[in-house]
């Protein structure tokens, strides 16, 4: 299942969930990193999560594929040869062999948030591979989550240890030989369409007759905690930040990027928009995003110039109309997303200054979610969302009952009034009754 120069690569990384994001992010960084101090480039042995289709198609192309970076002014194609083998997730023999191999130094995962929950089977697969490695005395191993979870390394470590169960010898081996560094990743990678597959053949540098190209935005970011059990690719040459503490970068992403995405999703849908590019181009949305960024940015433990640079980069990315990021997709699961995106920085704000109150940007996100659930119930995809007839107290009960105070209620109700005015008159200043129509 190898081909071209890929066969010359060291198969040092095993990846579980070899989908579009992994091939646009992990693979892109690894290929760009070049050779290590021994003069050899690293390669990736990929395993699918559930469906074997990606592995079958990749293998038929000698694991080569095209990465298309879609900028506002055109597409650029890169032939990727960093994947050296692709296996269906059901191939347990290949999985154990790959994890037991002494050439393997790193295991990475993109399995979505659900993959870390008990019963998903992901942790059990990892434990099965770790047991094979311990038996074969394969040496130290670094496990890295590339999923969007705060403290994803700690979450992964907890899931693995829980899956080990009553096996003290294996637990002791893991404690001695395995590390779980936190990581923050970012790169918008839309699903590849039939039109994309047809168009890629016209691009210079594309893999001929590619059936599994990946389309992504030009921007990419990866921040990794410096906790490696053994050797690794020289990822920093490709722009990866290797840091002592990932948490401030996680906060920057959650509280600025993800929080603003939620604001754009709920407010944008209420105002009739479909995509992030449409919503951020609306001054009514853009103004509230700036308010939210002012509030949340003050709570992130990073220098002001880095916050400013991140804000500028986000605006440039979101204005790209050729990367279609739908608001409906972002709007899903608000009851799980908003506590870490909105409530956590608000708690920090109030802990730092009890008199600070709720800023208008934060209040707008909560109010927009409330109205979205009340007025657009057919668009809601969230088992934990408040009912369409919920009042503001019901909404706060979902997010954080401790926030149900008179000042917070007043701020959210006022924000709901402003949003209804936008919906009715395109004027965010005219006061209207926020209880008209739905309970919101």
Question: Per-residue confidence at 158, pLDDT binned at 50, 70, 90?
Answer: very high
Q: Tell which phi-psi region holds residue 112, choosing left (phi > 0), alpha (psi between -120 and 50) or beta.
A: left
Query: For 97-110, b where at least 16 C-beta lie within 10 A, e where not — what string?
Result: bbbbbeebbbbbbb
User: In this structure, what CATH number is given to the domain that contains residue 135?
Assistant: 3.40.50.720
Residue 103 lies in a domain: yes
**Alpha-carbon gap, residue 123 to 143, rounded angstroms:** 12
Angle at 277 between CA 377 and CA 440, to 5 degrees: 30
Tell me the per-residue pLDDT of 90-113, one tens digit each, with 9 for 90 and over. Answer: 999 999 999 999 999 999 999 988
Would you state the pLDDT for residue 435?
Answer: 34
Question: 435 - beta bridge partners?
Answer: none
The closest of 403, 421, 317 to 362, measured between CA atoms, is: 403
Mean pLDDT of 404-432: 83
Residue 169 lies in a domain: yes
Tell me the per-residue pLDDT of 47-70, one tens digit each, with 9 for 90 and over. Answer: 998 778 889 999 999 999 999 999
Would you state the pLDDT for residue 360?
Answer: 96
In this structure, the answer to whether residues 278 and 218 fall within a common structural domain is no
The closest of 80, 89, 93 to 20, measured between CA atoms, is: 80
Residue 310 structure tokens: 């991140």
Question: Whole-number mean pLDDT of the chain?
Answer: 93
Angle at 30 between CA 207 and CA 237, to 5 degrees: 125
Residue 11 lies in a domain: yes
Residue 438 lies in a domain: no
In this structure, the answer to whether residues 106 and 187 fall within a common structural domain is yes
Tell me the per-residue pLDDT of 371-403, one tens digit each, with 9 for 90 and over. Answer: 999 999 999 999 999 999 999 999 999 999 999
**Alpha-carbon gap, residue 165 to 174, rounded angstroms:** 13
CB 268 within 8 A of CB 285: yes
**What helix, strand, coil percent values describe the chain, rounded to 5?**
50, 15, 35
Would you state the pLDDT for residue 5?
Answer: 36
Domain boundary among 243, 272, 305: 243
In this structure, the answer to whether residues 378 and 252 fall within a common structural domain is yes
Question: 282 - beta bridge partners?
Answer: none
Structural element, H or E, at residue 425: helix 406-425
Domain boundary among 177, 209, 243: 243
Would you state the pLDDT for residue 423?
Answer: 95
Given a cut of 90, is residue 3 above it in pLDDT? Answer: no
The closest of 280, 284, 292 to 254, measured between CA atoms, is: 292
Tell me the per-residue pLDDT of 208-242, one tens digit each, with 9 for 90 and over. Answer: 999 999 999 999 999 999 999 999 999 999 999 99
Helices H, strands E: what count in the chain?
A: 19, 12
**Alpha-carbon gap, residue 262 to 289, rounded angstroms:** 10
In this structure, the answer to whether residues 286 and 223 fall within a common structural domain is no
Tell me the per-residue pLDDT of 180-190, one tens digit each, with 9 for 90 and over. Answer: 999 999 999 99
CB 85 within 8 A of CB 48: no
What is the rounded end-to-end Cα distance, in angstroms, of the chain? 57
CB 122 within 8 A of CB 81: no
Q: For the CA atoms of 314, 298, 261, 404, what is the dihedral angle to 10 degrees?
A: 180
Given a cut of 70, is residue 309 above it in pLDDT? Answer: yes
Residue 440 lies in a domain: no
Range of the domain at 221: 4-243
Domain boundary among 204, 224, 243: 243
């Amino acid at each position: 299942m190898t081909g071209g120069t890929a066969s010359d690569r060291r198969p040092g990384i095993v990846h579980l969930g070899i989908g579009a994001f992994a091939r646009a992010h992990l693979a892109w960084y690894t290929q760009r990193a070049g050779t290590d101090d021994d003069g050899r480039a690293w390669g990736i042995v990929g395993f699918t999560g559930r469906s074997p289709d990606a592995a079958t198609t990749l293998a038929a192309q000698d694991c080569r594929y095209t990465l298309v970076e879609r900028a506002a002014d055109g597409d650029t194609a890169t032939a990727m040869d960093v994947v050296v083998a692709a296996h269906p997730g059901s191939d347990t023999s290949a999985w154990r062999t790959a994890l037991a191999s002494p050439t393997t130094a790193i295991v990475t995962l993109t399995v979505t948030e659900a993959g870390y929950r008990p019963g998903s089977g992901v942790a059990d697969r990892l434990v099965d591979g770790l047991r094979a490695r311990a038996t074969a005395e394969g040496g130290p191993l670094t496990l890295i989550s590339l999923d969007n979870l705060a403290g994803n390394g700690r979450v992964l470590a907890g899931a693995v240890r829980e899956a080990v169960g009553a096996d003290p010898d294996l637990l002791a081996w893991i404690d001695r030989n395995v590390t779980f560094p936190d990581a923050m990743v970012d790169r918008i990678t839309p699903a590849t369409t039939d039109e994309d597959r047809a168009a890629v053949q016209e691009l210079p540098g594309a893999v001929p007759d590619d059936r599994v190209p990946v389309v992504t935005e030009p921007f990419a970011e990866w921040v990794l905690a410096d906790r490696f059990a053994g050797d690794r690719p020289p990822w920093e040459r490709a722009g990866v930040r290797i840091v002592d503490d990932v948490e401030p970068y996680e906060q920057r992403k959650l509280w600025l990027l993800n929080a603003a995405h939620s604001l754009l999703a709920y407010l944008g849908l209420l105002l009739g928009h479909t995509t992030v590019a449409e919503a951020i181009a609306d001054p009514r949305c853009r103004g509230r995003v700036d308010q939210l960024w002012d509030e949340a940015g003050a709570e992130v433990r990073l220098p002001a110039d880095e916050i400013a640079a991140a804000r500028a980069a986000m605006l440039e990315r979101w204005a790209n109309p050729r990367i279609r990021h739908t608001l409906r997709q972002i709007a899903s699961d608000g009851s799980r997303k908003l506590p870490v995106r909105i409530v956590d920085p608000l708690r920090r704000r109030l802990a730092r200054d009890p008199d600070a109150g709720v800023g208008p940007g934060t209040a707008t996100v909560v109010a927009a979610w409330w109205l979205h659930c009340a007025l657009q119930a057919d668009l809601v995809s969230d088992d934990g969302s408040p009912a369409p007839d919920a009042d503001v107290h019901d909404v706060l009960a979902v997010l954080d009952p401790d926030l149900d105070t008179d000042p917070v209620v007043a701020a959210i109700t006022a924000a709901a009034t402003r949003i209804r005015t936008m919906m009715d008159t395109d004027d965010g200043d005219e006061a209207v009754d926020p209880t008209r129509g739905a309970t919101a």
